[in-house]
Structure 1
């Protein structure tokens, strides 16, 4: 599914002397969420030998979106903020105050005057797409902290596997600069950005959903566009 090197993502923070994270998944629906099951392996790249020129493909999958298209990652660090549901009540009130946005000189479209919190959640919070670390998206559920069953430390997102790098709505503002023209063109054509460039992996989880792997260790905010 994914292979991430410490040399490409310096803030990956692997355990011990590991410098490679390999993410595998089974392309079948598994309970309780009816999504592919994932397994993460930390390894030393120097110990990975006899690499197959052509990786084997599963003979059967539950859904065509469970078979990734081979891609080369181009990680880039981005700044994102927590979803408004993760903010304290005081901070949430500040985000909802249109006068504060105007006083700060923020370039916010006046159409958001009645709902500035929507602007925050769409354009500034929890970036969509495949990413390492960062903030989790919410919507179908309220924030739900997860704790390590071994050390009882609150866990944080390690890797997000997303169906789309951005959607066909306003969130195409998250598209990389070099993809902005294609993102806006696809949106104007009335499509959900299609398979390319917003879905280079061709992975589709559930109903264009995401899968998150979480870790008891702090993780960086690195997006991994392909």
Structure 2
């Protein structure tokens, strides 16, 4: 479970009466919030709200690995050389990432997902 509090996440968005986002998928304690989806397998695909057609924004990313690069070039400095970038052995698809999107018009609209 990942718990993201409004006070701890820059640009946190949510209903005015809520200050916590809970996600029941997180093999480690390093979830990524916001940012941009990595469209590495396909060209960028529009993620539009099924309720109103508004372009959705990335809410949360669950990645299959802690860092990228076979040589460890993206390895955090606190991780020793040679350590696995997948310490939990949990893989999304075939090593992809799961992106969860939200509608900026209404928190009542359903989320959308993409896997890349």
Give the SS at the match of 1:4: strand
The match for 1:6 is 6
Change (3 A) 1:132 1:204: same
Give the SS at the match of 2:95: coil
CA distance in 2, matches of 1:4, 1:216: 18
The match for 1:214 is 101
- Which ranges of structure 1 fall in alignment gaps of 5 or more residues? 26-66, 74-129, 187-192, 219-226
CA distance in 1, matches of 2:9, 2:88: 19
The structure 1 residue matched to 2:45, chosen from 144, 147, 150, is 144
**In the TM superposition, what whole-angstrom CA distance separates every residue of 1:147-184 from its partner, at most 9, and x where no partner exists?**
112232101211000010213425x43333433xx2xx
Question: Does 1:159 pair with 2:60?
Answer: yes
Alignment TM-score, normalising by the size of structure 2: 0.72
Conservation of the 8 A alpha-carbon contact between 1:146 and 1:155: yes
Equivalent pairs counted in the alignment come to 105
CA distance in 1, matches of 2:11, 2:88: 23
Which has the larger share of helix? 1
Residues 37-186 of structure 1: pairs in structure 2 closer than 5 A: 68=27, 71-73=28-30, 130-169=31-70, 172-179=72-79, 182=80, 185-186=81-82
Q: Which of 1 and 2 has greater Rg?
A: 1
CA distance in 1, matches of 2:70, 2:7: 34
Conservation of the 8 A alpha-carbon contact between 1:153 and 1:216: yes
Cα RMSD over matched residues? 2.6
Conservation of the 8 A alpha-carbon contact between 1:162 and 1:203: no
Alignment TM-score, normalising by the size of structure 1: 0.40
- Which ranges of structure 2 fall in alignment gaps of 5 or more residues? 106-116
